[in-house]
Chain A
Amino acid sequence: MINRLEATRYLVRQLSDEPIVASCGNPKFDLFTAAEKREANFYMWNSMGMASSIGLGLAMARPEKKVIVLDGDGAILMNLNSLTTEAGKAPANLVHIIWDNGQYQITGGQPTHTGGRADIEAMARGAGFGQALTVKTFAAFKKALSQILVQPGPWILVAKTDSSDAPGRPPKSPVAIKNRFMGALRGG
Protein backbone atom coordinates (compact mmCIF):
# COMPACT_ATOMS: atom_id res chain seq x y z
CA MET A 1 0.00 0.00 0.00
CA ILE A 2 1.10 3.51 -0.82
CA ASN A 3 0.92 6.32 1.71
CA ARG A 4 -0.93 9.05 -0.14
CA LEU A 5 0.76 11.99 1.55
CA GLU A 6 4.22 10.53 0.99
CA ALA A 7 3.34 9.91 -2.67
CA THR A 8 1.97 13.46 -3.04
CA ARG A 9 5.17 14.89 -1.51
CA TYR A 10 7.26 12.81 -3.91
CA LEU A 11 5.16 13.89 -6.90
CA VAL A 12 5.49 17.58 -6.07
CA ARG A 13 9.26 17.23 -5.82
CA GLN A 14 9.33 15.99 -9.42
CA LEU A 15 7.48 19.08 -10.67
CA SER A 16 8.23 22.77 -11.11
CA ASP A 17 5.27 25.02 -11.92
CA GLU A 18 2.92 22.50 -13.53
CA PRO A 19 -0.70 23.04 -12.48
CA ILE A 20 -2.19 20.44 -10.13
CA VAL A 21 -5.96 20.05 -9.72
CA ALA A 22 -6.78 18.34 -6.42
CA SER A 23 -10.19 16.75 -5.93
CA CYS A 24 -12.42 17.43 -2.97
CA GLY A 25 -11.97 15.03 -0.11
CA ASN A 26 -8.49 13.98 0.88
CA PRO A 27 -6.45 14.71 -2.29
CA LYS A 28 -6.64 18.45 -1.57
CA PHE A 29 -5.62 17.94 2.09
CA ASP A 30 -2.61 15.90 0.99
CA LEU A 31 -1.60 18.45 -1.62
CA PHE A 32 -1.88 21.38 0.75
CA THR A 33 0.03 19.50 3.46
CA ALA A 34 2.73 18.52 0.98
CA ALA A 35 3.13 21.90 -0.72
CA GLU A 36 1.12 24.73 0.79
CA LYS A 37 3.40 27.40 -0.65
CA ARG A 38 3.03 26.06 -4.18
CA GLU A 39 0.90 28.53 -6.14
CA ALA A 40 -0.06 26.27 -9.05
CA ASN A 41 -2.33 24.16 -6.79
CA PHE A 42 -6.09 24.18 -7.29
CA TYR A 43 -8.06 22.95 -4.30
CA MET A 44 -11.64 21.77 -4.82
CA TRP A 45 -13.91 22.18 -1.81
CA ASN A 46 -16.83 20.38 -3.44
CA SER A 47 -18.16 19.53 -6.94
CA MET A 48 -17.22 15.91 -6.37
CA GLY A 49 -16.12 14.24 -9.59
CA MET A 50 -15.21 17.42 -11.45
CA ALA A 51 -11.42 17.18 -11.01
CA SER A 52 -10.98 15.13 -14.18
CA SER A 53 -13.09 17.59 -16.18
CA ILE A 54 -11.32 20.66 -14.81
CA GLY A 55 -7.99 19.03 -15.65
CA LEU A 56 -9.16 18.21 -19.16
CA GLY A 57 -10.30 21.79 -19.81
CA LEU A 58 -7.06 23.19 -18.51
CA ALA A 59 -4.97 20.72 -20.50
CA MET A 60 -6.82 21.67 -23.70
CA ALA A 61 -6.52 25.40 -23.05
CA ARG A 62 -2.82 25.20 -22.13
CA PRO A 63 -1.23 22.48 -24.28
CA GLU A 64 2.27 23.68 -23.40
CA LYS A 65 1.77 22.83 -19.69
CA LYS A 66 1.66 19.38 -18.19
CA VAL A 67 -1.54 19.24 -16.15
CA ILE A 68 -1.77 16.91 -13.15
CA VAL A 69 -5.11 15.77 -11.72
CA LEU A 70 -5.19 14.25 -8.23
CA ASP A 71 -8.47 12.38 -8.03
CA GLY A 72 -10.03 9.86 -5.69
CA ASP A 73 -11.76 6.58 -6.40
CA GLY A 74 -15.09 7.81 -5.03
CA ALA A 75 -14.82 11.01 -7.05
CA ILE A 76 -14.01 9.40 -10.40
CA LEU A 77 -16.77 6.84 -9.87
CA MET A 78 -19.14 9.83 -9.73
CA ASN A 79 -17.96 11.15 -13.12
CA LEU A 80 -16.94 7.98 -14.95
CA ASN A 81 -18.21 9.37 -18.25
CA SER A 82 -15.44 11.97 -18.06
CA LEU A 83 -12.97 9.17 -18.79
CA THR A 84 -14.52 8.82 -22.25
CA THR A 85 -14.25 12.57 -22.86
CA GLU A 86 -10.62 12.70 -21.67
CA ALA A 87 -9.71 9.73 -23.86
CA GLY A 88 -11.61 11.19 -26.81
CA LYS A 89 -9.92 14.58 -26.65
CA ALA A 90 -6.64 12.89 -25.64
CA PRO A 91 -4.50 15.88 -24.69
CA ALA A 92 -0.89 14.68 -24.55
CA ASN A 93 -0.19 16.92 -21.54
CA LEU A 94 -2.78 15.36 -19.21
CA VAL A 95 -1.72 13.16 -16.29
CA HIS A 96 -4.70 11.85 -14.31
CA ILE A 97 -3.72 10.21 -11.04
CA ILE A 98 -6.41 8.43 -9.04
CA TRP A 99 -5.72 7.61 -5.40
CA ASP A 100 -7.68 4.42 -4.84
CA ASN A 101 -8.19 3.30 -1.26
CA GLY A 102 -11.49 1.55 -1.96
CA GLN A 103 -13.44 3.75 0.41
CA TYR A 104 -15.13 7.06 1.03
CA GLN A 105 -12.48 7.94 3.57
CA ILE A 106 -13.71 11.41 4.45
CA THR A 107 -17.18 10.23 5.43
CA GLY A 108 -16.00 7.41 7.64
CA GLY A 109 -14.56 4.74 5.38
CA GLN A 110 -17.65 3.29 3.75
CA PRO A 111 -16.47 1.02 0.91
CA THR A 112 -16.57 2.18 -2.71
CA HIS A 113 -17.04 -0.27 -5.54
CA THR A 114 -13.31 -0.26 -6.26
CA GLY A 115 -13.01 -1.96 -2.86
CA GLY A 116 -15.17 -4.66 -4.45
CA ARG A 117 -15.24 -5.60 -8.12
CA ALA A 118 -14.68 -2.33 -10.00
CA ASP A 119 -11.32 -1.77 -11.71
CA ILE A 120 -10.58 1.82 -12.69
CA GLU A 121 -7.64 1.00 -14.96
CA ALA A 122 -9.83 -1.43 -16.93
CA MET A 123 -12.59 1.18 -17.20
CA ALA A 124 -10.09 3.79 -18.38
CA ARG A 125 -8.86 1.40 -21.06
CA GLY A 126 -12.45 0.69 -22.03
CA ALA A 127 -13.07 4.43 -22.24
CA GLY A 128 -10.27 4.70 -24.77
CA PHE A 129 -7.10 5.39 -22.80
CA GLY A 130 -4.16 3.67 -24.42
CA GLN A 131 -1.97 4.34 -21.42
CA ALA A 132 -3.24 3.32 -18.02
CA LEU A 133 -1.36 1.80 -15.09
CA THR A 134 -2.13 0.54 -11.61
CA VAL A 135 0.54 0.61 -8.90
CA LYS A 136 0.42 -0.87 -5.41
CA THR A 137 3.78 0.05 -3.91
CA PHE A 138 5.65 3.31 -3.45
CA ALA A 139 8.54 1.96 -5.54
CA ALA A 140 6.15 1.17 -8.39
CA PHE A 141 4.56 4.61 -8.03
CA LYS A 142 7.95 6.33 -8.36
CA LYS A 143 8.82 4.21 -11.35
CA ALA A 144 5.49 4.97 -13.03
CA LEU A 145 5.94 8.71 -12.44
CA SER A 146 9.34 8.64 -14.10
CA GLN A 147 7.53 7.44 -17.20
CA ILE A 148 4.29 9.40 -17.20
CA LEU A 149 5.82 12.77 -16.37
CA VAL A 150 8.12 12.46 -19.38
CA GLN A 151 6.27 10.55 -22.08
CA PRO A 152 3.30 12.05 -23.95
CA GLY A 153 -0.10 11.22 -22.48
CA PRO A 154 -2.87 11.26 -21.71
CA TRP A 155 -2.09 8.96 -18.81
CA ILE A 156 -4.18 7.31 -16.14
CA LEU A 157 -2.34 6.20 -13.04
CA VAL A 158 -4.33 4.33 -10.40
CA ALA A 159 -2.40 4.22 -7.15
CA LYS A 160 -3.65 1.87 -4.45
CA THR A 161 -3.23 3.79 -1.22
CA ASP A 162 -3.84 3.42 2.48
CA SER A 163 -6.20 5.75 4.33
CA SER A 164 -3.90 7.91 6.41
CA ASP A 165 -5.00 11.47 7.13
CA ALA A 166 -3.05 14.57 6.18
CA PRO A 167 -3.27 17.37 8.76
CA GLY A 168 -3.21 20.41 6.44
CA ARG A 169 -6.30 22.32 5.37
CA PRO A 170 -6.26 24.67 2.35
CA PRO A 171 -7.73 28.19 2.55
CA LYS A 172 -11.53 28.23 2.59
CA SER A 173 -12.13 31.02 0.06
CA PRO A 174 -12.86 29.58 -3.41
CA VAL A 175 -12.14 32.92 -5.07
CA ALA A 176 -8.78 33.26 -3.32
CA ILE A 177 -7.89 29.70 -4.41
CA LYS A 178 -8.84 30.47 -8.00
CA ASN A 179 -7.05 33.81 -8.15
CA ARG A 180 -3.80 32.39 -6.80
CA PHE A 181 -3.98 29.47 -9.23
CA MET A 182 -4.72 31.72 -12.20
CA GLY A 183 -1.87 34.02 -11.17
CA ALA A 184 0.50 31.04 -11.26
CA LEU A 185 -0.82 30.05 -14.69
CA ARG A 186 -0.36 33.55 -16.06
CA GLY A 187 3.16 33.77 -14.69
CA GLY A 188 4.26 30.52 -16.26
Chain B
Amino acid sequence: MEWPRKIVSLLKANDIASISFVPDTVIGRILKAAEQDPHFCFTTLAREEEGIGIIAGEYMGGRRGVLMMQGAGLGNCVNALASLAIPYQIPFLMLISQRGELGEFNACHVVMGKALRGILEALGIQHYTINRDDELETVLGGAIKTAYTSEQPVAVILTTALVGWKDEK
Protein backbone atom coordinates (compact mmCIF):
# COMPACT_ATOMS: atom_id res chain seq x y z
CA MET B 1 0.00 0.00 0.00
CA GLU B 2 1.32 3.48 -0.87
CA TRP B 3 1.87 5.93 2.00
CA PRO B 4 -1.24 8.10 1.32
CA ARG B 5 -3.54 5.08 1.47
CA LYS B 6 -1.74 3.71 4.50
CA ILE B 7 -2.25 7.04 6.31
CA VAL B 8 -5.93 7.08 5.43
CA SER B 9 -6.44 3.52 6.65
CA LEU B 10 -4.71 4.35 9.95
CA LEU B 11 -6.92 7.42 10.45
CA LYS B 12 -10.00 5.33 9.84
CA ALA B 13 -8.82 2.52 12.11
CA ASN B 14 -8.48 5.13 14.89
CA ASP B 15 -12.03 6.50 14.43
CA ILE B 16 -10.89 9.79 12.97
CA ALA B 17 -13.86 10.87 10.89
CA SER B 18 -13.19 14.49 10.11
CA ILE B 19 -10.34 15.99 8.08
CA SER B 20 -9.71 19.74 8.37
CA PHE B 21 -7.01 20.95 6.05
CA VAL B 22 -5.16 23.62 4.18
CA PRO B 23 -3.81 21.75 1.17
CA ASP B 24 -0.35 21.39 -0.21
CA THR B 25 0.70 18.79 -2.78
CA VAL B 26 1.46 16.20 -0.07
CA ILE B 27 -1.82 16.77 1.79
CA GLY B 28 -3.51 16.68 -1.62
CA ARG B 29 -2.33 13.11 -2.14
CA ILE B 30 -3.78 12.05 1.22
CA LEU B 31 -7.07 13.80 0.44
CA LYS B 32 -7.19 12.01 -2.89
CA ALA B 33 -6.81 8.68 -1.12
CA ALA B 34 -9.59 9.54 1.37
CA GLU B 35 -12.10 11.34 -0.84
CA GLN B 36 -14.05 8.30 -2.00
CA ASP B 37 -14.59 7.00 1.52
CA PRO B 38 -17.90 8.16 3.05
CA HIS B 39 -16.39 7.60 6.51
CA PHE B 40 -14.66 10.97 6.19
CA CYS B 41 -15.98 14.49 6.07
CA PHE B 42 -13.73 17.29 4.85
CA THR B 43 -13.43 20.91 5.88
CA THR B 44 -11.33 23.26 3.77
CA LEU B 45 -9.82 25.85 6.07
CA ALA B 46 -8.99 29.35 4.93
CA ARG B 47 -6.28 29.49 7.60
CA GLU B 48 -4.87 26.64 9.66
CA GLU B 49 -5.74 28.19 13.04
CA GLU B 50 -9.44 27.69 12.33
CA GLY B 51 -8.79 23.97 12.36
CA ILE B 52 -7.83 24.04 16.05
CA GLY B 53 -11.19 25.58 16.93
CA ILE B 54 -13.16 23.32 14.60
CA ILE B 55 -11.49 20.17 15.91
CA ALA B 56 -12.04 21.33 19.51
CA GLY B 57 -15.74 21.79 18.77
CA GLU B 58 -15.97 18.45 17.05
CA TYR B 59 -14.17 16.69 19.88
CA MET B 60 -16.47 18.17 22.51
CA GLY B 61 -19.39 17.05 20.37
CA GLY B 62 -18.04 13.50 20.20
CA ARG B 63 -16.18 13.34 16.89
CA ARG B 64 -12.46 12.93 16.26
CA GLY B 65 -10.70 15.20 13.79
CA VAL B 66 -7.28 15.51 12.22
CA LEU B 67 -5.61 18.76 11.13
CA MET B 68 -3.58 18.42 7.93
CA MET B 69 -1.29 21.25 6.90
CA GLN B 70 2.11 22.23 5.66
CA GLY B 71 4.73 23.21 8.22
CA ALA B 72 4.14 26.88 7.44
CA GLY B 73 0.64 26.47 8.85
CA LEU B 74 1.93 25.66 12.30
CA GLY B 75 3.00 29.29 12.56
CA ASN B 76 -0.63 30.28 12.08
CA CYS B 77 -1.77 27.93 14.84
CA VAL B 78 0.49 28.80 17.74
CA ASN B 79 -1.86 30.86 19.92
CA ALA B 80 -4.86 28.59 19.40
CA LEU B 81 -2.72 25.62 20.41
CA ALA B 82 -1.29 27.45 23.43
CA SER B 83 -4.54 28.95 24.68
CA LEU B 84 -7.23 26.49 23.55
CA ALA B 85 -6.10 22.98 22.65
CA ILE B 86 -3.43 22.53 25.32
CA PRO B 87 -5.08 24.10 28.40
CA TYR B 88 -8.53 22.67 27.60
CA GLN B 89 -6.92 19.29 26.86
CA ILE B 90 -8.25 18.76 23.35
CA PRO B 91 -6.61 15.68 21.81
CA PHE B 92 -6.03 15.43 18.08
CA LEU B 93 -3.46 14.61 15.45
CA MET B 94 -1.70 17.31 13.47
CA LEU B 95 -0.34 15.82 10.28
CA ILE B 96 2.32 18.18 9.01
CA SER B 97 4.02 18.00 5.64
CA GLN B 98 7.46 19.45 5.98
CA ARG B 99 9.08 21.93 3.62
CA GLY B 100 12.52 23.39 3.95
CA GLU B 101 14.58 20.27 4.46
CA LEU B 102 15.88 17.77 1.90
CA GLY B 103 15.55 18.92 -1.70
CA GLU B 104 14.02 22.34 -1.03
CA PHE B 105 14.19 24.80 -3.94
CA ASN B 106 12.48 27.73 -2.22
CA ALA B 107 14.45 29.72 0.34
CA CYS B 108 11.25 31.08 1.82
CA HIS B 109 10.36 27.64 3.17
CA VAL B 110 13.69 26.94 4.83
CA VAL B 111 13.36 29.00 8.01
CA MET B 112 9.97 27.55 8.98
CA GLY B 113 11.31 24.11 8.17
CA LYS B 114 14.12 24.63 10.64
CA ALA B 115 11.84 26.18 13.26
CA LEU B 116 9.07 23.57 13.10
CA ARG B 117 10.22 21.18 15.81
CA GLY B 118 11.48 23.99 18.03
CA ILE B 119 8.02 25.60 17.99
CA LEU B 120 6.37 22.29 18.88
CA GLU B 121 8.87 21.76 21.68
CA ALA B 122 8.39 25.28 23.03
CA LEU B 123 4.67 24.47 23.25
CA GLY B 124 5.38 21.12 24.90
CA ILE B 125 3.72 19.22 22.04
CA GLN B 126 4.97 15.69 21.43
CA HIS B 127 6.09 15.27 17.84
CA TYR B 128 7.27 12.41 15.69
CA THR B 129 8.89 12.32 12.27
CA ILE B 130 8.20 9.79 9.55
CA ASN B 131 10.90 9.22 6.93
CA ARG B 132 9.91 5.79 5.63
CA ASP B 133 6.76 3.89 4.69
CA ASP B 134 7.44 1.12 7.15
CA GLU B 135 7.37 3.59 10.08
CA LEU B 136 3.81 4.68 9.42
CA GLU B 137 1.93 2.06 11.35
CA THR B 138 4.03 2.32 14.50
CA VAL B 139 4.61 6.06 14.50
CA LEU B 140 1.31 7.39 13.15
CA GLY B 141 -0.85 4.79 14.87
CA GLY B 142 1.12 5.23 18.08
CA ALA B 143 0.97 9.03 17.97
CA ILE B 144 -2.81 9.00 17.58
CA LYS B 145 -3.17 6.68 20.55
CA THR B 146 -0.88 8.85 22.67
CA ALA B 147 -2.83 11.99 21.76
CA TYR B 148 -6.09 10.57 23.11
CA THR B 149 -4.43 8.99 26.16
CA SER B 150 -2.75 12.28 27.11
CA GLU B 151 -5.70 14.42 25.96
CA GLN B 152 -3.26 16.65 24.09
CA PRO B 153 -2.51 17.50 20.47
CA VAL B 154 0.31 15.45 18.97
CA ALA B 155 2.18 16.22 15.74
CA VAL B 156 3.42 13.83 13.08
CA ILE B 157 5.78 15.31 10.53
CA LEU B 158 6.01 13.78 7.06
CA THR B 159 9.43 14.50 5.54
CA THR B 160 10.49 14.75 1.93
CA ALA B 161 12.41 11.50 2.44
CA LEU B 162 8.96 9.87 2.62
CA VAL B 163 6.95 11.97 0.17
CA GLY B 164 9.60 13.21 -2.24
CA TRP B 165 10.39 16.80 -3.13
CA LYS B 166 9.39 19.18 -5.86
CA ASP B 167 11.55 18.74 -8.94
CA GLU B 168 12.24 22.42 -9.48
CA LYS B 169 15.62 24.11 -9.92
> Residues on A close to B: CB < 8 A?
19, 21, 42, 44-62, 65, 79, 81-82, 84-85, 88-89, 174-175, 177-178, 181-182, 185-186
B88 touches A57 (CB 8 A): no
- Besides A61-B60, A61-B62, A178-B60, 14 more A-B contacts (Cβ < 8 Å) are A46-B79, A50-B53, A50-B80, A50-B84, A54-B60, A55-B57, A56-B53, A60-B57, A60-B58, A65-B61, A79-B49, A82-B50, A85-B43, A85-B45
Bound Cα distance from A19 to B49, whole angstroms: 22
Task: Using A174-B89, A181-B60, A185-B60 as known contacts, say yes or no to A47 and B53 having CB atoms under 8 A apart.
Answer: yes
Cβ 8 A contact of B53, one of A54, A65, A88, A178: A54
User: How many residues does chain B have at the interface if contact means C-beta atoms less than 8 Å apart?
Assistant: 31
A-B contact count (CB 8 A): 113
Bound Cα distance from A182 to B90, whole angstroms: 12
Chain B 60-99: CB-based contact to A (< 8 A → 1; otherwise 0)? 1111010000000000000110011001111000000000
Contacts of A47 in B (CB 8 A): 52-53, 79-80, 83-84
A88 touches B18 (CB 8 A): no
Task: Using A82-B46, A84-B46 as known contacts, say yes or no to A61 and B61 having CB atoms under 8 A apart.
Answer: yes
> Residues on B close to A: CB < 8 A?
18, 41, 43-47, 49-63, 65, 79-80, 83-84, 87-90
Contacts of B65 in A (CB 8 A): 57
Bound Cα distance from A185 to B62, whole angstroms: 9
B88 touches A178 (CB 8 A): yes
Q: In the complex, what residue of chain B is closest to A50 when comparing beta carbons?
A: B53
Bound Cα distance from A46 to B80, whole angstroms: 8
